[in-house]
């Protein structure tokens, strides 16, 4: 389901450059067309209510049309006034983010992280399972899927303040769990732990507070019910 008509003013010009998200469409991060600015809000491949009861519809609406939109608006403003940013893809910007201002860092990270995040989720009935290859890699590193989930939740709960928790494929080709503050991510050139994100969860309070209040661990545990394992498996298959 596409966004309601009342929200279309948030996604002007999206037809040419947006990324379509959802269970039925899982483009490769490595091969899909990379839009340059001005950046636009991606469309969801599911309704705001599709992730209930794990994530409520109001949280989804606010998260996408207010928080993500704000990162895009501020990023476009920075691109317009910053030498060397025009014509660059979001990946090029975050891959050289140490060369730019904190405003570029925060808003470029916010746009990339959220665009990635929306594709990692979908209705619980379509969640599926990790591919055999991904399952084997997770079990090799973490012993079992259940143990992996426990470690991922622990890292997310332990991230002080706002941030993200990630499963990445690192430079050695191994799976690794890491977390980043604010809107940082492991693709940034100055990330403490670098790698290709396969899975990520937003642990900013705006991602869960309306439903879970201060119970971040509950949010992290319930989130597995709506993970789009087909997308995560494709991320793993395409990871460099």
- Does 206 carry a binding-site annotation? yes
Residue at a domain's end among 123, 145, 170: 123
Domain at 211, CATH number: 3.55.40.20
Domain at 63, CATH number: 1.10.287.990
pLDDT one-digit tens code per residue, 223-238 = 999 999 999 999 999 9
pLDDT at 3 over 90: no
Rg value, the chain, Cα: 17
pLDDT one-digit tens code per residue, 14-33 = 333 333 344 433 333 333 45
Q: Count of domains in the chain?
A: 2
- Does 146 carry a binding-site annotation? no
Q: Tell me which of 30 and 97 has the higher pLDDT.
A: 97
Angle of helix 132-142 relative to helix 145-158, nearest 10 degrees?
70
Residue at a domain's end among 102, 123, 144: 123
Residue at a domain's end among 88, 123, 158: 123
Read off φ and ψ for residue 85, nearest 5 degrees.
-95, -25
How many other C-beta atoms are found inside a 10 Å radius of the C-beta of residue 47? 16
Q: Looking at the structure, tell me whether residues 132 and 116 fall in a common domain.
A: no
Q: Looking at the structure, tell me whether residues 115 and 11 fall in a common domain.
A: yes
Q: What integer best gives the mean pLDDT of the chain?
A: 89
Burial of residue 134 (number of CB atoms within 10 Å: 0-12, 13-18, 19+): buried
pLDDT one-digit tens code per residue, 159-175 = 999 999 999 999 999 99
pLDDT category at 83 given cuts 50, 70, 90 is confident
Q: Looking at the structure, tell me whether residues 157 and 94 fall in a common domain.
A: no
- Does 67 carry a binding-site annotation? no
Q: Looking at the structure, tell me whether residues 66 and 171 fall in a common domain.
A: no
- Does 190 carry a binding-site annotation? no
pLDDT at 34 over 80: no
pLDDT at 36 over 90: no
Q: Looking at the structure, tell me whether residues 11 and 118 fall in a common domain.
A: yes
Q: Tell me which of 5 and 209 has the higher pLDDT.
A: 209
Tokens at 221, concatenated: 């545990």
> pTM score > 0.75 for this model?
yes
State residue 35's pLDDT score.
56
State residue 56's pLDDT score.
98
């Amino acid at each position: 389901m596409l966004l309601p008509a009342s929200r279309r003013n948030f996604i002007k010009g999206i037809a040419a450059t947006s990324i379509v998200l959802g269970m039925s469409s899982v483009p490769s991060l490595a091969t899909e067309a990379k839009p340059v600015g001005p950046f636009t809000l991606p469309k969801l491949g599911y309704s705001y209510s599709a992730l209930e009861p794990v994530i409520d519809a109001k949280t989804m609406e606010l998260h996408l049309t207010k928080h993500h939109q704000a990162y895009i608006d501020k990023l476009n403003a920075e691109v317009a006034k910053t030498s060397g940013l025009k014509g660059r893809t979001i990946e090029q910007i975050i891959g050289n983010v140490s060369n730019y201002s904190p405003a570029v860092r925060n808003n470029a990270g916010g746009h990339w992280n959220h665009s990635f995040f929306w594709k990692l989720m979908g209705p619980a009935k379509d969640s599926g399972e990790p591919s055999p290859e991904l399952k084997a890699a997770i079990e090799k590193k973490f012993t079992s899927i259940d143990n992996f989930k426990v470690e991922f939740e622990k890292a997310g709960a332990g991230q002080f303040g706002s941030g993200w928790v990630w499963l990445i494929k690192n430079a050695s080709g191994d799976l690794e769990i890491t977390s980043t503050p604010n809107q940082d991510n492991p693709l940034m050139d100055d990330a403490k732990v670098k790698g290709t994100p396969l899975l990520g969860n937003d642990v900013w309070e705006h991602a869960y507070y309306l439903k879970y209040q201060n119970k971040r661990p509950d949010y992290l545990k319930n989130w597995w019910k709506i993970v789009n394992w087909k997308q995560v498996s494709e991320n793993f298959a395409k990871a460099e």
